[in-house]
Structure 1
Amino acid sequence: MYEEYWQLETKPFEPTSDRRFLFPCPAHTSALHKLRYAVENRRPAALLAGTAGIGKTLLWHTLEVQLGESLGKRAHLVFPLMSSREMLAFLAEQLGAPLHDTRPTVEESLNALQTVLVENRERGKLAIFAVDEAHLLEDAGLLEPLRLLMNLRDGYEPLFTLLLIGQVAALSTMERANDLDERLEMKVLLKPFSSEETAGYIEHRLVAAGATRPLFTSQALELAHQLTGGIPRRINRLCDLALLVSFAAQESQIDGAQLRAVQSELLTLAPAA
């Protein structure tokens, strides 16, 4: 709607897995290197934690792209409201494991997973099981199937890397599950952007969308950090609405006053607690 007015090729603050929009801040780049190291070196498990909206899912998709053809079997579970049996059967189905029953037992699913993962390993390929919303697994009683999965090995070698993705509470969830926590060879905590990183993030996404001039004043960039706490999802929401409102008002640039007015509108629209 506002792209033509601001001379943009696309909306800069839409949720996307397009790597052009991945802001290479040091913390996120370091997190990506650590996760890639864990997978490429066939470590049994890793944990990626951070506040909601901080960019964990985008980081996971970027990891998939970076691993490229070396990554064979992969499965991504977004907090499944299912039993242990259903969860293991779902994983087996996602990986194309040979199941001969529409309602396989836990043992049948594990055997099928073992078969397909050994074949994947023999082809020299990597494998990842990514489980989102990992901070909720304990309450859902889904830690036990993870324990069973972690026992899938080829001799002493893990057949896959379990990547747990969740909010900060996932760290304490795993600490309580001591046996699983000991297998986490990599724990990565994503922190909010600093003021400088917030400004860099906004400018990076604008340029990726085709901007050829500054659309936010330096005052607005600094204020954006104060209003969002450096959380990418909040930054996206604020800046997207600011571009729309300022387009409607035919402004040439977005300043601090306009950004504060937009934030007030967002707070008005927010659902009551």
Structure 2
Amino acid sequence: MYIKHWGLEHRPFDRQDDPRFYYPSETHQAALLKIRYAIENRQGGGLLAGMPGLGKTRLVGGLFQSLTDVCHPQVHLRFPQLGPESLMAYLAAELSGQRHGHMPLEDSLQHIEKALADNVRQGRHALIVIDDAHVLCGTETMETVRLLWNYEPAWTVLLAGQLALLPALERMPEMEERLSVKCLLRRFSADETAAYVSHRLRVAGAADAEAVFQPQALQAMHERTDGVPRKINRLADMALLIGFAEELQNIDADRIHAIAEELELQVPATRRRAA
């Protein structure tokens, strides 16, 4: 709707699946480097943790795209709320390329062992990423995940999830010790927020990305979103829409604050005082 008004070719803040829009922030690049190191050196496990909205899943997607054919198969478990038998059956099917249906845990383990052995003979290394792994904390399935590391160095198992993973792993030292790398994503700084917004605008086709949002607007955007990429995307997208509707040439800080309050990204100061 607003693309032509701002001189764009795409909507810049809703394309999470397009690798061109990936912004190589310091925290994301450091995490990517450490995880790749673990995989390329065939180490058993890794951890990627951070608060919601920091781009963990997007980083995993970039990781898959950056690996060579030697790292195969690559399994991305996006919905880990499975019981132990279902989890192992899923992994057996993904590794072997064959659908076996429901089967006992022992049968799944045999299929996994055979698939990994065949994979190693071909000189390849498997990667298993368990997304939203924090939902497994305190479950029987988490104990099953711990047992997956018995198959190293045939594969690397990466746990990706929210910060609740950290205390859960501290209570499981036998599992925590198997993690060769630990990556904690942090929020963007004010400078990174501005660079992130400009980067996505440029990729979307903006001739002058810095002319869309005034510098004070970018600072306001950082304050209102705490430097969380998902919140930045939401606020920036709505700001472009409102700017189009009001035929603005650029967006200032006051507009950002007004839109942020409307989106309830931050409780207005008057409401905080009243509370």
TM-score (norm 2): 0.92
Distance 2:88 2:97 in 1: 11
Indicate the larger mover: 207-216 or 142-151. 142-151
The Cα shift of 1:98 comes to 5.2
The alignment's C-alpha RMSD in Å is 1.7
Alignment of 1:191-270 (within 5 A): 191-213=186-208, 214-267=211-264
Q: Counterpart amino acid of 2:207?
A: T
Distance 1:228 1:211 in 2: 23
Map of 1:145 onto structure 2: 144
Map of 1:76 onto structure 2: 76
2:154 to 137, 152, 159: 159
Map of 1:88 onto structure 2: 88
The Cα shift of 1:44 comes to 0.2
Distance 1:224 1:6 in 2: 18
The DSSP-based 3-state class of the residue aligned with 2:69 is: helix
Distance 2:129 2:37 in 1: 15
Contact preservation (8 Å) 1:127, 1:159: yes
Q: Counterpart amino acid of 1:264?
A: E
Map of 1:178 onto structure 2: 173
Q: Deviations for 1:112-166, whole angstroms, at most 9, x for unmatched residues?
A: 011111211222222111111112212332112112222124xxxx110000000
Indicate the larger mover: 130-139 or 209-218. 130-139
Contact preservation (8 Å) 2:15, 2:21: no
Report percent identity of matched pairs. Answer: 41
Q: Counterpart amino acid of 1:83?
A: G
Q: Deviations for 1:12-42, whole angstroms, at most 9, x for unmatched residues?
A: 0014132211111222111111111011111
The alignment of Structure 1 onto Structure 2 pairs a total of residues equal to: 265
Distance 2:235 2:98 in 1: 47
Map of 1:103 onto structure 2: 102
Contact preservation (8 Å) 1:73, 1:117: no
Runs of 5+ consecutive residues of structure 1 not aligned to the other structure: none
The Cα shift of 1:206 comes to 0.5
Following TM superposition, the consecutive aligned residue runs of length 4 or more in structure 1 with deviations greater than 6 angstroms are none
The Cα shift of 1:196 comes to 0.5
Distance 1:13 1:110 in 2: 43
Distance 1:151 1:131 in 2: 16
Map of 1:116 onto structure 2: 115
Q: Counterpart amino acid of 2:5?
A: Y
Contact preservation (8 Å) 1:36, 1:63: yes
The DSSP-based 3-state class of the residue aligned with 1:243 is: helix
The DSSP-based 3-state class of the residue aligned with 2:80 is: coil
Q: Counterpart amino acid of 1:211?
A: A
